Structure 1
Amino acid sequence: MRVRGLAAGGAAAGGPALGGSPGPGRGGGLRARPRSAAAAGGVAVRAWLLAFGLLAACNGPVRVGALPALRLERLAEGFQLPVHAAFAGAGGVRLFVVEQAGRVRIWDGGTVRTFLDLSARVESGGEKGLLSLAFHPQYASNRRFFVNYTRREGGQLRSFVSEFRASADPDAADAGSERVLLVVDQPFDNHNGGLVLFGPDGFLYVGMGDGGGADDPLDNAQNPTSRLGKMLRVHPDTAAVEVWASGFRNPWRFSFDRATGRMFLGDVGQDRREEIDVVEQGRNYGWAVMEGSLCNKPEVGCNPAGLTLPIAEYATHVDGTCSVTGGYVYRGNRIPWLVGRYVFGDYCGGQVWALADSGGRWSAELLLRTDLRIASFAEQPDGELLLVDHGGGVYRLVNR
């Protein structure tokens, strides 16, 4: 993993740049991976870090064996290909789990029931499906929530962002209440993005992939007139859409730090780099001119002027990795030493890392290795973090 001594959101200076697999944003889609035993002990962890080039490449220190031990606590299981989870508001106690084939399920601590079933409308498989939901900040009073899903109409694959409402029964949504806010045609069946999330400004943010294909063949991410390869900001009432940031390949998962309001994003790479970005309005994050900090199109002599480089990156296809899953800045109180660190993972490798910021210098820390296919992270109302395993379970990150 390369971490940069660059202030969050800093743009690259002019001059030369530095130097299809499973998972979100890859041609193989979301697939199972072979199970592996967890690494144990500082020697194993150090060897793994060396394999990544972490100790040699980082601009900030990588701490090996210096952090207290963490573990995962199983919260719920039995879901069918879950890809996202969320709570309804600050006081929410029910966990809403999004299943890729088109259902939203409620877990209340004991039972699981279906809240919404869109399976007849959703085209799922690979990277397609019902991919996320977001509750309106005033959900308790207006019962409004929003989803992001893929659907095929007349042979054309499209991404939909739609509003629904809960019925008089709080455990059941009204499937007939759909109001479409945004439709984006997808030229290919992958890189669909997928996350819809409310920002601290009350707008709805939508991560939209570049439309698929290798090396963004239609140059969507760098095309200012295209909504593909962009971070979109949508007004939840008027459905007005604006391009908020650009230059993404597949911004599968992102989040806002509840303390600072900064957006952190994991952008899934193609063959060489998985990256973490701090996203700011109006910035261009480089794809497909660059993949992470590397020249991509062309591979030699690209011009990074005006582009914003990632705050951290790691090599794709090393030790089982394949696809970054963006997470959250930890703001809970059960793991005090983790407060303020950005926690994220890899879908195939099952690793979980944390990034620490010290005046614009970022340091990477390996938290733990798992046998999970980490499709998403979720944040509890109290700031504790959950991991969503595409294999069917939801887990809480806790002290050992």
Structure 2
Amino acid sequence: MRRAGARRARAAVAALAVAAALLAAAGAARAVTWEPADGLALRTVAEGFERPVHVASPPGDRRLFVVEQGGRILLVERGRPRARPFLDLTARVRAGGERGLLSLAFHPRYARNGLFFVNYTDRDGHTRIERYRVSSDPTVADPASGRTILRIEQPFANHNGGHILFGPDGMLWIGMGDGGGGGDPLGHGQNRATLLGAILRIDVDRGDPYAIPPDNPWPRTAGTRPELWAIGARNPWRLAMDPVERLVYVADVGQNRFEEVHVVPLAGGVNLGWNIMEGRACHRAQRCDTAGLDLPPVVYPHGEGCSITGGVVYRGRALPALAGHYLFADYCAGWIRSFRWAGGRVEAARAWRLPRVEAPVSFAVDGDGEVLVVSHAGRILRLEPARR
């Protein structure tokens, strides 16, 4: 799934030259050096899917539920999709390009209440967050149980964001792109009166259909939507939570030059910089005011890729050397990298020597705490220790 409109001209030499000049102009911190690393392997654990974009497991459950962009959620059975979908929203979903059924989040108390949430593009091209309930058969959801929690109008067909997940606080988090059009023509990134170009945080256990958490950054600020947790996002396709360090990792897809990762305390209230900045460079001008902006500690130019795919923080057992490391990929280049955030800086930055993943579109953690990588080409892979 290509997730940028005007990012096709990527001549490596030109991109790196522009990157160096613009980073210098913006006063960027020292660039991260990615050290080649061995010790990991990828193993296919499920295949046979049509444009998968996400995979999730209920809390405390080892089953895998795979989200297909076209509108189906499929339960994995012996490494293949179960014949009967867990939920089929094909008739409600507008799929293609950056649109479709984009993610799934199980309620933290799913084992008791059977509730889960989906993020998809409806037939009118707008974002819907809906709630569903599992049926009496644990392998099938009740399609009649659907209820719209939030509907957000989209002005263009790209930069719809797409990720929903529950945080360690029990709140539902939603990544929203700027609405597309290239360069944020409607100025959503810096507009606090819209839900576009932002990360949202809502309480789906209270209110009708939801409540505003009282500890949101701007719950009662004039001219600001109270759902906002952060502004200034371009297309935060995937978010990651680290409940141990209470951090949120935001992988934000860039425009024509840079891809970026922000590391933000759980309290939020930050401005991620778009459309003033792209990466650590001024977006439209040679000079710009960066006061009050959260500049990303990790940036890479389009000579190294073209569309970032975040990302999970590893807290499993099979790969102890990766404890606390954030893993991410590039959709176009197919590589996987990782780093550890410690003392407010990037440490142990690694570029893993692995076979190229075809169109890595999402990461997840399975019921054992191990890392899954979703290939848009139809496979789910697991990161494992390399055999010696």
| Equivalence map 1:314-333=2 (5 Å) | 314-316=300-302, 318-319=303-304, 321-333=305-317
Aligned counterpart in structure 1 of residue 321 of structure 2, from 314, 337, 340: 337
| Closer, same or farther: CA 340–246 of 1 in aligned 2, 3 Å | same
Confirm or deny that 1:102 pairs with 2:71: yes
| TM-score with structure 1 setting the length | 0.83
The Cα of 1:59 is off from its aligned counterpart by: 3.1
Structure-1 separation of matches of 2:274 and 2:376? 27
The Cα of 1:23 is off from its aligned counterpart by: 1.9
The Cα of 1:358 is off from its aligned counterpart by: 3.4
Corresponding residue for residue 172 of structure 2: 204
| Equivalence map 1:1-400=2 (5 Å) | 23-26=2-5, 59=30, 62=33, 64-65=35-36, 67-89=37-59, 91-113=60-82, 114-153=85-124, 157-237=125-205, 238=207, 239-240=210-211, 242-280=227-265, 281-296=268-283, 298-316=284-302, 318-319=303-304, 321-363=305-347, 364-369=349-354, 370-400=356-386
The Cα of 1:329 is off from its aligned counterpart by: 1.1
Q: Give per-residue Cα distances to partners, 1:15-68, cap 9 Å, x unaligned.
A: xxxxxxx62243699xxxxxxxxxxxxxxxxxxx99x98xx9973763534x33
The Cα of 1:356 is off from its aligned counterpart by: 2.0
Instruction: Tell me the SS of whatever aligns to 1:152.
Output: coil
Structure-2 separation of matches of 1:220 and 1:110? 42
| Closer, same or farther: CA 300–59 of 1 in aligned 2, 3 Å | closer
Q: Name whichever of 253-262 and 120-129 sits farther off.
A: 253-262
Structure-2 separation of matches of 1:189 and 1:100? 15
**Alignment coverage as a number of residue pairs:** 349
Equivalent position amino acid for 1:338 in 2: L
| Closer, same or farther: CA 25–203 of 1 in aligned 2, 3 Å | farther
Structure-1 separation of matches of 2:30 and 2:191? 32
Report if aligned partners of 1:94, 1:109 keep a CA contact under 8 Å in 2.
Answer: no
| Closer, same or farther: CA 175–264 of 1 in aligned 2, 3 Å | same
The Cα of 1:110 is off from its aligned counterpart by: 4.3
Report if aligned partners of 1:353, 1:368 keep a CA contact under 8 Å in 2.
Answer: no
Q: Name whichever of 376-385 and 208-217 sits farther off.
A: 376-385
Report if aligned partners of 1:258, 1:331 keep a CA contact under 8 Å in 2.
Answer: no
The Cα of 1:182 is off from its aligned counterpart by: 0.5
Corresponding residue for residue 13 of structure 2: none
Report if aligned partners of 2:114, 2:133 keep a CA contact under 8 Å in 1.
Answer: yes
Structure-2 separation of matches of 1:375 and 1:111? 19
Equivalent position amino acid for 2:35 in 1: V
| Closer, same or farther: CA 60–299 of 1 in aligned 2, 3 Å | closer
Report if aligned partners of 2:259, 2:300 keep a CA contact under 8 Å in 1.
Answer: yes
Q: Name whichever of 117-126 and 56-65 sits farther off.
A: 56-65
The Cα of 1:284 is off from its aligned counterpart by: 0.3
Equivalent position amino acid for 2:346 in 1: W
| TM-score with structure 2 setting the length | 0.85
Report if aligned partners of 2:38, 2:353 keep a CA contact under 8 Å in 1.
Answer: no
Structure-1 separation of matches of 2:201 and 2:328? 23
Structure 1: which 5+ runs fail to align? 1-21, 30-48
Structure-2 separation of matches of 1:28 and 1:293? 18
Equivalent position amino acid for 1:395 in 2: L
Structure-2 separation of matches of 1:273 and 1:259? 29
What percent of counterpart residues are identical?
Answer: 47
Equivalent position amino acid for 1:339 in 2: A
| Closer, same or farther: CA 84–256 of 1 in aligned 2, 3 Å | same
**Alpha-carbon RMSD:** 2.2
| Closer, same or farther: CA 123–63 of 1 in aligned 2, 3 Å | closer
Report if aligned partners of 2:53, 2:103 keep a CA contact under 8 Å in 1.
Answer: yes
Structure-1 separation of matches of 2:376 and 2:145? 28
Structure-2 separation of matches of 1:215 and 1:291? 10
Structure-2 separation of matches of 1:118 and 1:396? 27
